């Protein structure tokens, strides 16, 4: 008997083999048939003179690309080769994409730089001052390199009172951009006053992450002051230009972020000396003024100082007594007038009238309240029935379904739908996750009928 595999088994074994042997591989090729889906995915073909393979950059990874590929561009693509079982199709899922060759890379870099300049990301006016004496300093760099050691030892020597918080991240490689953004994000919750983003020197390939558009835009909106210490003197990276301050080396960044303790103590002692001298001069001036005032007649005869205030006090006391006497007479006349108006018989008549009106209103309320409640109950019952009739759940129970795309938006047309789109089907008793295998517009369905 012939031992045969099913197609599913065959493609499953192929997928396993591809995952083992073709993960995170680099491919040199030309970009062709470039297109973008409404969901943000980027579809294209990688080809050379003799072969081609379909490729995709998913929307989430596309946001981390360092540049925007164009038709006909030669690129280096890093990713994994996978197989799509429903169609038996090989596909290269791209994780990182860079221009092939120094020339193309720097052309793309210059285009990105000009775009960011036009948007004002490098303007000096948007850069923030550094805190004079930070208590906590965040550092984003690789913990294995010499950079972290240089920053730590420099600050321990200059100002040991400053606390360092390391948020580790790789500084080169395909995952560097995303990891740097994540490390910077973590520091916003660490209560630091300023951040040093640092790495040692390197070739242009090593510094690709620091020319990444996602990282530059993230730093442009970052809530904390940032010192860029990339460690290369000849060329400025885009991160250098968007940061609030740039230091030529990580050691220089550590010297820039906090003043030297001994220098601060010397300046403090100098300020204390100046303050002491100023206080002595002020005391001397006040003593001379006091000596001058003590020679005036009012100081030689102190009783003259309170003679005028005493006369003013007597006048005010007399005016207050007269005003109180007049106000008391006025209030007495007003009280007598009110007393004459409030006769007992008049009060009894008013009270009786109010009681009769209150009894009449109570009877009207007793009659009207049940009618009002019955009417409101009937209206509530009608509205409940109408709500149940219009309920989407009732529509689903009659056999209908809701179709949602991968953003949770209702799908009402095949327009814009493509193969491999992720859809969610909601029924009366649950939901299903589906993948579109093929799209048939209404005109094609009619022709098939």
Task: For 380-407, write each residue's pLDDT tens digit.
Answer: 888 888 887 777 777 777 778 888 888 8
Distance from CA of residue 31 to its chain's centroid?
35
Is pLDDT of 95 > 60?
Answer: yes
Q: Say whether pLDDT at 225 is over 90.
A: yes
End-to-end CA distance of the chain: 43
Closest CA to 242 of 212, 267, 219: 219
Convert the pLDDT of each residue in 106-121 to its tens digit.
777 777 788 888 888 8
Domain ranges of the chain: 7-100, 114-259, 262-295, 358-390, 397-448
Residue 143 is inside which H or E element, if any? none
Q: Token pair for residue 148?
A: 């972290």
Given a cut of 90, whether residue 184 has pLDDT beyond it is yes
Tokens 């860079």 belong to 98
d(CA 236, CA 118): 18
Q: CA nearest 80: which of 66, 93, 61, 65?
A: 93
Q: What is the mean pLDDT of residues 325-330?
A: 88
Contact residues for 156 (Cβ-Cβ < 8 A; gap 6+): none
Q: In terms of pTM, does the model score above 0.75?
A: no
φ/ψ (deg, to 5) at 282: -65, -40
Sorted by sequence, the CB contacts under 8 Å of residue 334 that are 6+ apart come out as none
CATH 3.30.230.70 is held by the domain 114-259: no
Q: Do 27 and 75 meet the contact criterion of CB atoms below 8 Å apart?
A: no
Tell whether the model's pLDDT for residue 92 goes beyond 80: yes
The predicted pLDDT at position 314 comes to: 85
Q: Residue 84 — φ and ψ, nearest 5°?
A: -95, 105
Is-contact 253 138, C-beta < 8 A? no
The total of other beta-carbon atoms located within 10 Å of residue 388's CB is 10
Is pLDDT at 176 greater than 80 in this prediction? yes
Q: Return the sign of the alpha-carbon dihedral for residues 242, 248, 252, 254.
A: positive
Helices first, then strands: H and E counts in the chain: 14, 13
Average pLDDT rounded to a whole number, residues 201-210? 76
Q: Using 50, 70 and 90 to split pLDDT, how confident is the model at 439? A: confident
- Please give the helix or strand (H or E) that residue 114 lies within, else none: helix 102-118
* Helical packing angle, 250-257 and 146-158, nearest 10°: 30
Closest CA to 433 of 396, 395, 404: 404
Contact 41, 62 (CB under 8 A): yes
Each as own residue / partner, the long-range contacts of residues 364-369 (CB below 8 Å, 24 or more positions apart, any chain) are: none
Q: Are 401 and 413 in contact (CB under 8 A)?
A: no
Which range of 74-78, 259-263, 300-304 scores highest in mean pLDDT? It is 74-78
User: Residue 193 has what pLDDT?
Assistant: 92
Kindly report the CA angle at 296 between 295 and 297, in degrees rounded to 5?
120
CA distance 113 to 102: 16
Residue appearing with tokens 């390391």? 166
Task: Fill in the DSSP letter of residue 125.
Answer: G
User: Is a pLDDT exceeding 80 seen at residue 342?
Assistant: no
Q: Say whether 226 sits in a helix, a strand or coil.
A: strand
pLDDT of 303 strictly over 60: yes
Query: 2 or 91, which is more confident?
Result: 91
- Quick one: DSSP state of residue 410? B
pLDDT of residue 26: 83
- pLDDT for the residue 260: 62
Task: Give the residue-averaged pLDDT of 160-188.
Answer: 87
User: Tens digits of per-residue pLDDT, 350-375?
Assistant: 778 888 888 888 888 888 888 888 88
Q: Residue 272: helix, strand or coil by DSSP?
A: helix
94-103, 139-148, 311-320, 402-411: range with lowest mean pLDDT: 94-103
Q: What average pLDDT does the segment 25-35 reach?
A: 87
Work out whether the CA dihedral 393, 398, 404, 409 comes out positive or negative.
negative
pLDDT surpassing 70 at residue 62: yes
In the predicted model, is pLDDT for residue 304 greater than 60? Answer: yes
Structure token digits, residue 97: 């994409």
**Mean pLDDT throughout 174-181?**
84
Residue 132 above 90 pLDDT? no
CATH homologous superfamily of 7-100 = Nucleic acid-binding proteins (2.40.50.140)
Task: Using the CB atoms, write b or e for 252-268: b if 16+ within 10 Å.
Answer: bbbbbbbeeeeebeeee
């Amino acid at each position: 008997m012939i031992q045969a595999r099913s197609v599913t088994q065959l493609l499953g074994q192929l997928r396993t083999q591809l995952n083992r042997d073709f993960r995170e591989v680099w491919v040199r090729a030309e970009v062709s048939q470039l297109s973008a889906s409404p969901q943000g995915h980027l579809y294209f073909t990688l080809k050379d003179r003799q072969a081609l393979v379909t490729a995709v950059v998913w929307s989430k990874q596309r946001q981390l690309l360092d540049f925007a590929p164009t038709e006909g561009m030669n690129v280096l693509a890093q990713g994994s080769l996978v197989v799509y079982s429903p169609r038996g199709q090989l596909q290269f899922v791209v994780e990182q994409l860079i221009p092939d060759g120094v020339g193309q890379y720097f052309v793309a870099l210059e285009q990105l730089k000009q775009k960011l300049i036009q948007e004002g990301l490098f303007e000096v006016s948007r850069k923030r001052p550094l805190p004079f004496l930070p208590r906590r300093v965040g550092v984003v760099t690789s913990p294995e390199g010499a950079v972290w050691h240089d920053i730590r030892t420099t600050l321990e020597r200059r100002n040991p009172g400053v606390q360092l918080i390391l948020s580790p991240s790789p500084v080169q490689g395909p995952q560097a951009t995303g990891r740097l953004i994540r490390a910077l994000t973590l520091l916003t919750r660490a209560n630091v006053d300023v951040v040093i983003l640092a790495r040692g020197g390197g070739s242009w390939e090593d510094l690709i992450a620091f020319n990444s558009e996602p990282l530059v835009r993230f730093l442009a909106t970052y809530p904390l002051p940032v010192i860029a210490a990339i460690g290369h003197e000849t060329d400025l990276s885009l991160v250098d230009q968007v940061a609030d301050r740039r230091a030529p080396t990580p050691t220089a960044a550590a010297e820039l972020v906090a003043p030297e303790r001994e220098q601060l103590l010397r300046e403090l002692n100098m300020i204390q000396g100046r303050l002491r001298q100023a206080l002595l001069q002020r005391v001397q001036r006040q003593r001379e003024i006091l000596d001058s005032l003590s020679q005036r007649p009012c100081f030689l005869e102190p009783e003259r100082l309170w003679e005028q205030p005493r006369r003013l006090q007597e006048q005010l006391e007399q005016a207050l007594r007269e005003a109180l006497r007049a106000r008391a007479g006025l209030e007495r006349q007003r009280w007598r007038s009110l007393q004459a108006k409030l006769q007992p018989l008049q009060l009894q008549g008013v009270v009786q009238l109010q009681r009769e009106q209150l009894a009449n209103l109570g009877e009207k309320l007793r009659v009207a309240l049940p009618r009002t409640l019955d009417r409101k109950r009937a209206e509530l019952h009608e509205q409940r029935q109408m709500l149940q009739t219009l309920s989407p759940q009732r529509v689903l129970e009659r056999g209908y379904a809701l179709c949602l795309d991968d953003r949770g938006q209702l799908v009402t047309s095949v327009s814009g739908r493509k193969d491999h789109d992720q859809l969610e089907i909601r029924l009366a008793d649950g939901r299903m996750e589906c993948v579109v295998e093929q799209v048939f517009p209404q005109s094609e369905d009619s022709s098939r009928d």
